[in-house]
Amino acid sequence: MRLNVAWQIIIGTVAIQVVMVAALLFSGITQVQQNQQEVLERTAEQQSRLLGSALTPGLAYADPAMLQDLLDLLGDDSNVLYAVVLDASERPMASVGVAPDTLPAAEAGVRSESGQVEIARQIELSGQSLGTVAVGYSTDAIDQLSTNLLERNVLLALGVLGLSILAAILFALMTTRRLRLLLQGGRALEAGQLDHRVRIDSRDEFGDLARTFNDMAAHLGTTQSTLLQQNLQLNRSVARLESMLGGANAILWEANPGNHEWEFVAGDTRKLLGFPSRNLGRGELRARHIHPDDLPRVRDAAREPGNEPKVVDYRFAHRNGQWIWLRDILSWAEGTGSPRSLRGLTLDVTAHRRATAALKESENRYQDVVNHISEVIFRTDAEGRWTLLNPAWESLTGFPVEETLGKPMCAFVDPEDQDDAQNFCDTLLEGGTHAQSEEIRLRTHDGSHRWVSIYASARFDEDGQIMATFGTMMDISDRKEAEEEIRRLAFFDGLTGLPNRTLLHDRLGQALANTARSRHHGAVLFIDLDNFKDINDTLGHAVGDDLLRQVARRMEDSVREADTLARLGGDEFVVILNDLHPDPARAATEAEAVGRKLINLLREPFELAGQNRHVTPSIGATLFSGHSLGVEEVLKQADLAMYRAKNAGRNTVRFYDPGLHRAVEARFELENELRHALDEDRFTIVYQPQVEADGRVIGAELLLRWPHPQRGAISPGEFIPIAEQTGLIVPIGRKVLRTACAQLAAWQHIAAFRELTLSVNISARQFRNKHFVQQLREILQETGAPGDRLKLELTESMLLEEIDTVVAHIDELRTLGVEFALDDFGTGYSSLAYLKQLPLAQLKIDQSFVRDVLDDPNDAAIAQMVVNLAHTLDLDVIAEGVETAEQRAFLFGLGCRHFQGFLYGYPGDLSDLERAVLGTSPAQQSAAQSPH
């Protein structure tokens, strides 16, 4: 039977109360009754004692009335049932009420019976018993009192009982109400209403319980919402994983590493493998579907645990009866507390495998093509270095592919095509164009070259930066040869291989255009072999052809690269000479020199048909400059000149212009005379003073003079170039140097002249001579001249070629103290770079600028520039050709401090110079001298 708490409290409380009240009542009443009995007995005792005292006189006097009175008094008390006084002999003396038959014994004290209390007392006087008094009291009053008390207590107990039941009910009601609220809370929680709160605000245990409950509910609420959230996410993740696995046609699984039984599978095994996962859960079931050839590999992979995931591809028999390729990616997971488990991701890689196989197949085909194609296929990186070449490369060039890779493309180009190849690469690699083609020569391993047609295109990344180039190269050497052959046939003479008439016309046209631009002269030499017809007729045409070939070879070797040797036909050859001197006479001389050279060249006998035969040419020459004449006219002039040569007795050169011819003749005459003059030591030397700003002579320049017996003095400007061309300048120059050194040595002993310097002009040809330094050293030693007093004047033209030799010579001579000046500065092509490189001491402002320095602003500017330059480079500067005081003042104003010129002295003999040095007013003195 179920009793709720309220009843339990009420029944419990009532039961306890009833027991408690009953006990209290019982003990209370019993106590009261006992107490009243005792009180009654004590009262009886006291009254009997008092009564005894009061009765003593009556007894002593045995006065019964007295005794009776006293007893009557006593008898007024309603509680007294009887009183009797007995004398010593126990006779009644007085009495009230009805005494019982047997009175209690005096010595027994109080006798209690139901309903009465009796007492007997002996009354003594002086130790002598007078009698006995016995009194009986009724207990009714006491009983009545007890009954009243009992009644009242029972009523009180009932009242208390009632109140306590009421209290129990109230308490039960209050407790159960709160318990009910808690119960409701519990039920609400049970029903999932986590927002339910128990409303008990009291500050007692119920309140605490309710608050704890509410806190718990709140906590549960947040926990539940977190859990819900997580659950949602988990569900989403699971759904996503499932959909990903489904999309990728893959499954994820975890298996027992012992028997490979799947313990967990995610993904659609039906879709992937054709079976539900439960049909394949056991390892051996799956193994039945794996291709027997692949099974060992799969087992191996799953057997060995490792830290790295393992990948194994294998064939699997799909339910649809086809083999599919699967890929397992296996890993071993360490479970916390549990043994390791095998985890796998299984993917369908059939399509991938097929694509790979197809790719491999296509790559093989591609490789096949690339390896066997005759064209070179290449790739380069963004810097133009080979990164891929097919074997055709080695067949083409002989360089192994492995040795070539990584090297720059241009490293394999024939030097002659380097520029084209560089342009090709630059254009492509700088992104100027996406595709380029070019025909170039590659050099091959054996040192020859092959023509290739190269086609390349560039690959760019997203930023437009070049990533690579790739292309092909085709061997077009055969085609080029054929083209060359065609060109040869079209432009070259079949017999000698020399340019034919067509090409000659072309080249001559170009030469005319060049001279128009450069102001230089060109020349045509028309060469005809003398008596060639005789050879042809006597020895046959084959020998004639042989002769023509031999003649062509000899002449070819002696013609400069810039010039053209052509065969017009028969025994006629033509030479075009370019870049001759702007001066016609000089140009004619140069042309004539070439003609003579050719004559000398052919002078040696030719071996023809086993015989030595002499052949002489007749050469006609003509100069051209600019477009005043056409090609044909120039050739015609040369042809005419050739006839003049024939008429003049053959084996000679003749010019179309008779005036020129005379000039050339005169020049040759001069050359001969120059040789004689040298042999006969007919050259003299004059000295022109060089002065300080204050006019003090500090040295002199040595200038050559050639007093000609017939023509008088010949200017060095005329004979020095001839001496240079013929090489005579070397011995002539040596003589001048020796004179200068001897003079310097002689001056060492004279205080006034000791400080003087001498400047000697040195020609290019002379200076470049490899013995020059040694010879000068010897001269200095032999004469004992101080090197530091000697100054060599070089011209700018000499710096144009072989600058290294020039610098080396200068450096070497400077160790001897010799100094260098740059003569005629400003007239040549001096590059400032040279100037920096050359350890010079002095610049000489050319007289051509000094001449018009006052009138021509350009000349003044140049003079100023030379002075500034000299100062910048820390060089001395001297102006030559100073004729007037105004020129001198102007130059002084520019910053020039050294001067040379007629103003200070004409070139004169040594004594003039020495006088000038010693003279107080050199300017006046030299002005007084007559011109030399």
Residues that bind ligand C2E (CB under 6 A): 688, 702-704, 715-717, 720, 729, 733, 736, 761-763, 793, 823-824, 847, 880-883, 901-902, 907
Least CB distance to ligand C2E at residue 548 (A): 43
Instruction: Report how far residue 925's alpha carbon sits from residue 483's, in angstroms, rounded to the nearest whole number.
Output: 77
User: Which of 931, 835, 846, 858 minimizes the C-alpha distance to 896?
Assistant: 846
Do residues 846 and 795 make contact, with C-beta atoms less than 8 angstroms apart? no
Tell me which of Mg ion, ligand C2E, none is bound by residue 901, counting a contact when its beta carbon lies within the kind-specific cut-off of 5 to 8 angstroms.
Answer: ligand C2E
**C-alpha to C-alpha distance for 140 and 145, rounded to whole angstroms:** 8
Considering the complex, state which of residue 255 and residue 882 has its C-beta at the smaller distance from ligand C2E.
Answer: 882
Cβ-count burial of 917 within 10 angstroms (0-12 exposed, 13-18 middle, 19+ buried)? buried
Q: Which of 444, 521, 501 is nearest to 475 (CA)?
A: 444
Q: Which CB, 571 or 793, lies closer to Mg ion?
A: 793
DSSP state of 407: S
Query: What DSSP state is assigned to residue 845?
Result: E
E strands along 250-335, which residues?
Answer: 250-255, 262-266, 310-317, 323-333
Q: 């002539």: which residue's tokens?
A: 732
Nearer to Mg ion, 325 or 706 (CB): 706
Give the H/E segment covering residue 757: strand 757-761
Taking the least distance from each CB to ligand C2E, the nearer of 147 and 715 is 715
Q: Which of 563, 592, 819, 823 binds Mg ion (CB under 5 A)?
A: 823
Site for Mg ion in 824-843 (CB under 5 A): 824
For position 348 contacting Mg ion by CB under 5 A, the verdict is no
CB of 703 to ligand C2E, least distance (A): 4
- Residue 84 binds which entry of Mg ion, ligand C2E, none, CB below 5-8 Å type-dependent: none
CB of 748 to ligand C2E, least distance (A): 22
Find the shortest distance in angstroms from Cβ 745 to ligand C2E. 19
Out of 493, 528, 571, 793, name the contact with Mg ion by CB under 5 A: 793
Minimum gap (Å) between residue 904 Cβ and ligand C2E: 8
Q: Does residue 625 belong to the site contacting Mg ion (CB under 5 A)? A: no
Please give the residue whose beta carbon sits closest to ligand C2E in the complex: 901
Residue in the block written with tokens 């005081």: 885
Pairing of β 564-569 and β 572-580: antiparallel
Of 905, 857, 854, give the one whose Cα is nearest residue 880: 905
Q: Closest separation between CB of residue 870 and ligand C2E, Å? A: 17
Nearer to ligand C2E, 143 or 883 (CB): 883
Amino acid residing at 202 = S
| Alpha helix segments (H runs only) across 519-563 | 532-539, 541-558
**Which of Mg ion, ligand C2E, none does 720 bind, CB closer than 5 to 8 A by kind?**
ligand C2E
Please spell the DSSP secondary structure of 110-144, one letter per residue.
EEEETTEEEEEEEEEETTEEEEEEEEEEE-HHHHH
**Least Cβ distance, residue 653 to ligand C2E (angstroms):** 28
Q: Using CB distances below 5 to 8 A depending on partner kind, what does residue 703 bind out of Mg ion, ligand C2E, none?
A: ligand C2E
User: Minimal distance in Å, beta carbon 726 to ligand C2E?
Assistant: 13
Q: With respect to Mg ion, which residue has the nearer C-beta, 530 or 793?
A: 793
Residue 568 interacts with, from ligand C2E, Mg ion, none (CB under 5-8 Å by kind): none
What value, to the nearest 5°, has the Cα angle with vertex 131 and ends 127 and 136? 125
The answer for residues whose C-beta is within 8 angstroms of residue 125's C-beta and 6 or more apart is 56, 59, 60
- Tokens in use for 231? 């659950």
48 or 900: CB nearest Mg ion: 900
CA angle, residues 643, 648, 649, in degrees to nearest 5 = 105
- Which residue of 249, 625, 739, 761 would you call a contact of Mg ion, by CB under 5 A? 761
Classify residue 890 by its DSSP letter. H
Pick one of Mg ion, ligand C2E, none as the site partner of residue 442 (Cβ within 5 to 8 A by kind).
none
763 binds, among ligand C2E, Mg ion, none (CB under 5 to 8 A by kind): ligand C2E
Stretch of 235-243, 345-353, 514-522, 790-798 lying at the interface with Mg ion (CB under 5 A): 790-798
Q: Which amino acid is at 15?
A: A
Closer to ligand C2E by CB, 88 or 698: give it. Answer: 698
Q: What single letter denotes the amino acid at residue 4?
A: N
Query: CB of residue 557 vs ligand C2E: minimum separation in angstroms?
Result: 31
CB of 383 to Mg ion, least distance (A): 53
d(CA 71, CA 396): 179
How far apart are the two ends of the chain, measured CA to CA in Å?
A: 167
590 binds Mg ion (CB under 5 A): no
Smaller CB distance to Mg ion: residue 849 or 890? 849
Which residue in the block uniquely carries the two structure tokens 């009354």? 123
Does the protein bind Mg ion through residue 796 (CB under 5 A)?
A: no
**CA–CA separation, 348 and 290 (whole Å):** 14
- Select from Mg ion, ligand C2E, none the partner in contact with residue 48, using the beta carbon and a kind-dependent cut-off of 5 to 8 Å: none
Q: Which does 907 bind (CB under 5 to 8 A by kind): ligand C2E, Mg ion, none?
A: ligand C2E
Rank residues 469 and 795 by Cβ distance to ligand C2E and give the closer one.
795
Q: Which does 688 bind (CB under 5 to 8 A by kind): Mg ion, ligand C2E, none?
A: ligand C2E
Nearer to ligand C2E, 591 or 720 (CB): 720
Give the residue with the Cβ less far from ligand C2E, 564 or 688.
Answer: 688
Q: Provide, rounded to whole angstroms, the least separation between the CB of residue 848 and ligand C2E.
A: 9
Place of tokens 């692949």: 294
Burial (CB < 10 A; 0-12, 13-18, 19+), residue 119, is buried
Reported as half-sphere exposure (CB side, CA atoms, 13 A), residue 829 has a value of: 5
**C-beta of 716: minimal distance to ligand C2E in Å?**
3
CB of 666 to ligand C2E, least distance (A): 19
Give the nearer residue to ligand C2E in terms of CB position, either 532 or 820: 820
Cα angle 232, 238, 239 (rounded to 5 degrees) comes to: 90
Asked if residues 844 and 825 have their Cβ atoms less than 8 Å apart, the reply is yes
Could you tell me the smallest distance in angstroms from the CB atom of residue 604 to ligand C2E?
A: 34
Query: Could you say which of Mg ion, ligand C2E, none residue 756 binds, taking C-beta under 5 to 8 angstroms by partner kind?
Result: none
Binding status of residue 13 toward Mg ion by CB under 5 A: no
Work out how close the CB of 654 gets to ligand C2E at its nearest, in angstroms, rounded to a whole number.
31
Give helix 140-190 / helix 5-60 axis angle, nearest 10°: 170
Q: Quote the CA–CA distance of 772 and 775 in Å, as a whole number.
A: 5
CA–CA distance, 652 with 633 (Å, rounded to integer)? 22
Strands 521-529, 435-443: pairing kind: unpaired
How many angstroms separate the CA atoms of 685 and 733, rounded?
A: 11
Given a contact cutoff of 8 angstroms between Cβ atoms, the answer to whether 698 and 691 are in contact is yes
* Partner from Mg ion, ligand C2E, none contacting 704, C-beta within 5 to 8 A by type: ligand C2E
Binding site for Mg ion (CB under 5 A): 761, 793, 823-824
